Amino acid sequence: MLAIEIAVAASLVVVLWRLYRGPTSWDRLLAYNAVSNRGILLLVLVGISEGRTVLLDVALVYGMLSFLGVVIVSQFLERGVRRL
Amino acid sequence: MIINGVSYALAAVGAVFVVIGTIGILRFRDVYSRLQASGVSDNAGLGLILIALVVFAGWQSTDWRVLLLLLLLLITNPIATHSIAKSAFTSRHAGMEDPS
* CB within 8 Å: A67 and B76: yes
Domain assignment of residue B73, given as a range: 2-88
A26 → closest Cβ in B11, B53, B84: B84
B68 touches chain A (CB under 8 A): yes
Report CA-CA distances (Å) from B55 to A6, B6, B81.
21, 8, 28
Averaged pLDDT, A58-79: 92
Q: How much is the pLDDT for A83? A: 63
> Does the residue B95 lie in any domain?
no
Tell me how many domains chain B contains: 1
Three-class secondary structure of residue A54 per DSSP:
helix
A18-33 pLDDT tens trace: 989 878 889 999 999 9
Three-class secondary structure of residue B62 per DSSP:
coil
**Interface-testing mutation among B17, B25, B38, with chain A (most A C-beta atoms within 10 A):** B25
pLDDT band at B94 (very low <50, low <70, confident <90, very high): low
B9-41 pLDDT tens trace: 999 999 999 999 999 999 988 888 999 998 889
* CB within 8 Å: B53 and A24: no
> Does the residue B100 lie in any domain?
no
> Does the residue B31 lie in any domain?
yes
Q: How much is the pLDDT for A1? A: 79
DSSP character at residue A83: T
A79: which residues sit within 8 A by CB, 6+ positions away? none
